[in-house]
Amino acid sequence: MLNPDASTTDADRELPTGAAELPGPQSRAWFERTDGHLTGTMADHELVPFVAAGKRGYLVVDADGNTFADHMSSWGASPFGPTPEPVRVAMDQAWREHGMQISGWVQNEPALRLVEKLVEIAPGRLNRVEYSVTGTLAVEGAVKFMREATGRPLVLTFGGQYHGESTYLTAGASSDLSNVTSQRAQYVAGILTVPYPNRFRSPFRTGPGPFDDTEVLDYLENYVLVQQVHPAQIAGLMIEPVLGEGGIHAPSQAFWDRLDALAKRWGWLICLDEVQTCMGRTGEMFGMQRWTGIDPDLMLLGKAFAAGGQPIAGLLGTDEVMAGSDLHLGSTYGFTPAACAGSLAGIGMIEDEGVLDNVRELERIFLEEMRPLVDEVEQVGDARAVGALAALEFVQDKATIRPAPSFQVAVHQAAVRRGVLGITQRGKWHLRLQPALTMPPEVFRDSCLRLADAVRSVAAEPPPETERVLDTVAGSAR
């Protein structure tokens, strides 16, 4: 629970209204004026059918005055709701004192203070910092570090992860849906992908689990490393501690133990992509701290690292990887003074205001309210939460657990009408909630109840599904 000394206003506890008709007339007018000037993707409003006019408390207010509980949190980049006062004040002061500065070339106090703080809180052997501005660039930098440090060409990734939007590595490494990397992935070399560990849905057999998620390492050891590549060709592995875009899956301790043993045996570097899981999102400062024995060589920071302020990302590394590096990963906007000051203020909020306890309470509430749906509703296959990362996975039936992406989109649309804005995408069969880390428990519980009502309403008359998920994914590619 949040520190009672931290101010929680009536606006913070305000509940959403939703809307029966979306888009409303004002939002529709905006779409008509601007759609002809946007890309096809940007002009598609089926999943978010309104124009935001602002934020109030933990609500998004649309152009027609309708309100929606914000469970996107700018994909995690606004971890405290609208930019909190400590972050705003810190950024303003840094702007007054420094203005814009290329911190990678001209060192300055806000950047160096952030370096000191990161080294203080970093787990394990991580004691070096590289500046960056987005998660995508941090990923690219990590690949360069791994290849430089080992002299090896290949990087091992896990399917279903999301590593950004660049054309080379991040688009080709892995993704939650194949249409995301359409026309790009097939041209990428140097990337090796195996399935992400999943206890609910096995990539190797049909039907319901639970499954042993270490079976993906059996596949890696007994097939990939025997018949596809030699382990000495692999520089390192890149893995999300919790699978985000792929549906909030958390590996078992047994998986981490065995993966660590493999890395040590073959000299692989371990890079944790914590862009979505850092800075309190999982109920720990870093997602990896939910397990024991993980000793990364690199860790990537982004999204919540900005504390809802200005864009910033970073790489943490060990002496062995970074101390003697000749790489230049310069970024004009990496670690600008105001962004660093805001990030420091956000870390201070996590440490001083009971944020992690509140996140753990949000996880408890989600599981308490949503897990009963697994027994009640045929199409609810699973309900999962890791801190303030939560997901419902939808199936056509529990006997086959065939994915139900049409059901998922229908639930999302029903939830939005009820005032709950979650994270969705066509072709996916899981709906995610990513609330602010500081969202009051009563507001979050209200959203869970509204979401449950949306699920029941769609289950009463479920939409038809395509025969195979691939038909949904392939149908969205041009």
Q: What is the CATH number that goes with domain 11-77+354-475?
A: 3.90.1150.10
Task: Show me where the domains of the chain are located.
Answer: 11-77+354-475, 85-352
- Predicted confidence band of residue 478 (pLDDT cuts 50, 70, 90): very low
Please state, in angstroms and as integers, the Cα–Cα distance from residue 212 to each residue in 215, 255, 391, 455, following that order: 6, 9, 20, 29
Work out the average pLDDT over 28-55.
94
- Predicted confidence band of residue 180 (pLDDT cuts 50, 70, 90): low
Given a cut of 50, whether residue 232 has pLDDT beyond it is: yes
Alpha-carbon distance of 327 to 163, in angstroms, equals 20
Q: What would the pLDDT profile of 398-453 be if each residue is shown by its tens digit?
A: 999 999 999 999 999 999 999 999 999 989 999 999 999 999 999 999 999 999 99
The three-state secondary structure class of 61 is strand
Residues ≥6 apart with Cβ < 8 Å to 264: none
For the purposes of burial, counting CB atoms within 10 Å of the CB of 209, is it exposed (0-12), middle (13-18) or buried (19 or more)? middle
Please state, in angstroms and as integers, the Cα–Cα distance from residue 194 to each residue in 156, 160, 245, 263, following that order: 8, 9, 16, 15
Q: Domain 85-352: which topology?
A: Aspartate Aminotransferase; domain 2 (3.40.640)
Q: What would the pLDDT profile of 200-227 be if each residue is shown by its tens digit?
A: 999 999 999 999 999 999 999 999 999 9
Cβ 163 vs Cβ 157: under 8 Å: yes
Alpha-carbon distance of 299 to 278, in angstroms, equals 9
Alpha-carbon distance of 121 to 261, in angstroms, equals 25
Q: What would the pLDDT profile of 272-320 be if each residue is shown by its tens digit?
A: 999 999 999 999 999 999 999 999 999 999 999 999 999 999 999 999 9
Sign, CA torsion 349/352/356/361: negative
Cβ 67 vs Cβ 61: under 8 Å: yes
Residue 422: CA count within 13 A, CB half-sphere: 31
Task: Enumerate helices (H) and strands (E) in the chain, giving the number of each.
Answer: 14, 14
| Number of C-beta neighbours around residue 331 at 10 A | 21
Alpha-carbon distance of 446 to 71, in angstroms, equals 12
Q: What would the pLDDT profile of 249-271 be if each residue is shown by its tens digit?
A: 999 999 999 999 999 999 999 99
